[in-house]
Amino acid sequence: MMLPKEYKSGVKPIWCPGCGHFAVLNAITKAFAALEQAPENAVLVSGIGCSSRLPAYINSYGFHGVHGRALPVAAGLKVARPDLNVIAMGGDGDGFSIGGNHFLHACRRNVDIVYVVMDNEVYGMTKGQASPTTPEHWEHSKLTPHGPEVRPFQPCAIALASGASFIARGYSGDPNGLAHMLFEAVQHQGFAFIQVLSQCPTFCPEQVGWKKTVHLEDTCTDDPVQAAAFLHGDDGLAKGIFYRRPRPTWPVQHQSTEPVNLRKGFEL
């Protein structure tokens, strides 16, 4: 049995003071402790961005890949090594913009992995550009001086429409609640998606206000129609496990084929 702090690698995070990702890091260590996770059997896979640095800070195996591709790396690893607990993670730009297509297909494919998106509605590492989840009229980026002028992406609704079998939203201001969600997500058989509202005090100081506006919703359902109704009426600041409906995971186990002579088909 390990303590949460024993799951930290000792590498010092590069994050700014007050960054929400510290809380996500702590929540993961708490969830691992609760799961009695053998560190060598967990792999954290990430893309590029502030949040994607997290695997190096955890005492487990990790893979820090290229921008937007955490999900394919994680899926390939899990299909090849089903014995491992594979958790993909990253930010909102990594997951919903450059990696958006993989998000759709990971939800569809339902490989048994967890995907944690630390959503701060901004590209922090490139110094504050708008991301897919940035509010339409957020005017603080030089790249989009009039605001993105595009409706924000709705991660949970899209996850539902794409076939995710576990959908939750957590908040960095509530690491215990997030640790609980992670615990449940790891236990879930299939693709489990957690959007974490993880504040960026540097580029979006207004997110400090989330501690007053984020609200717990106890709406967990296995009915996709009910979940869709809730998510389309959602203000984006509800937290909780919204949807959980196990379905067959990929790869489907086929009846074991007899070992074959690979060469037979070439013989006359």
Partner 1 sequence: MDTIVGPGRLFIRRAANVTDISQTEREPQNQMTSLTIAMVGSGGAGVVASGEMLLRAAAGMGLYGILRKTFGPQIRGGESAAIVRLGTEVVANLGSELEVLLVLDWNNFQRFADEIPISEATVLIQDLQAGEHPQNLPEPRQTLTLDFLGLAKSLGSSHSNLALLGYVADWLGCPSDIIDSAIRHRLREHSQETIELAITVALGGAQLQQDKPIPLQPILSAPEKTNSIGKRWIANGNQLIGLGALEAGIRFVAAYPITPASDVLEWMAGEIESVGGHLVQAEDELAAVNMTIGAGFGGIPAMTATSGPGMALMSEAMGLAVASETPLVVVDVMRGGPSTGIPTKSEQSDFNLAVYGLHGDAPHVVLSALSVADCHFTAGWATGIATERQTLVVVLSDQFLGQSSQIMPPLANTNFSASAAQQLEGDTEVDGTQRYFRYLDTDSGISPLALPGQPGGMFTADGLEHNAAAVPSPKAADHEQQLAKRLRKLDSLVESEHWAEHSSEQRGQGSMLLICWGSLYQVALEAQDKLREKGIDIVVMGIRLLSPLPLEEIKQAMQQATQTLVIEQNQLGQFAHYLRSFDRQGQDAALPPFHQYCRPGPTLFTPAEIVTQIQALIPDQTATEGSARQ
C-alpha–C-alpha distance, residues 23 and 38, integer Å: 21
**Interface residue with partner 1, options 45, 159, 178, 186 (CB under 8 A):** 45
Tokens representing residue 110 in the block: 């339902």
Segment near partner 1 (CB under 8 A), from 32-40, 141-149, 194-202, 212-220?
32-40
Region of 241 (left: φ > 0; alpha: ψ -120 to 50; beta: rest) is beta
43 binds partner 1 (CB under 8 A): yes
73 binds partner 1 (CB under 8 A): yes
Question: What minimum distance in Å lies between the beta carbon of 18 and partner 1?
Answer: 22
11 binds partner 1 (CB under 8 A): yes
**Interface residue with partner 1, options 20, 49, 55, 155 (CB under 8 A):** 55
Residues in binding contact with partner 1, number by CB under 8 A? 50
C-beta closer to partner 1: residue 191 or 210: 191
Segment near partner 1 (CB under 8 A), from 37-45, 139-147, 148-156, 209-217?
37-45
90 binds partner 1 (CB under 8 A): no
89 with 118: CB under 8 angstroms? yes
DSSP 157-219: HHHHHHT-SEEEEEETT-HHHHHHHHHHHHHSSS-EEEEEE---TTT-GGGGGHHHH-EE---
**Interface residue with partner 1, options 28, 44, 179, 182 (CB under 8 A):** 44
218 binds partner 1 (CB under 8 A): no
Question: Between helices 100-109 and 155-162, what is the axis angle to 10°?
Answer: 40
Question: What minimum distance in Å lies between the beta carbon of 50 and partner 1?
Answer: 13
Cα distances (Å, whole numbers) of residue 173 to 21, 25, 92, 208, 220: 10, 12, 18, 9, 21
C-alpha–C-alpha distance, residues 224 and 235, integer Å: 18
Question: What minimum distance in Å lies between the beta carbon of 47 and partner 1?
Answer: 9
**Quick one: CA dihedral 205, 207, 213, 214, positive or negative?**
negative
266 binds partner 1 (CB under 8 A): yes
Question: What minimum distance in Å lies between the beta carbon of 42 and partner 1?
Answer: 8
Peptide bond into 251 cis (omega under 30): yes
DSSP 86-109: EEEEEEHHIIIIITHHHHHHHHHH
Segment near partner 1 (CB under 8 A), from 16-24, 98-106, 188-196, 240-248?
98-106
Q: What is the DSSP letter of 111?
A: B
Question: What minimum distance in Å lies between the beta carbon of 267 and partner 1?
Answer: 6
C-beta closer to partner 1: residue 69 or 169: 69
Can you give the binding site for partner 1, defined by CB under 8 A? Answer: 11, 38-41, 43-45, 53, 55-56, 59-66, 68-69, 71-81, 83-84, 101-102, 104-105, 251, 254, 257-260, 262-263, 265-268
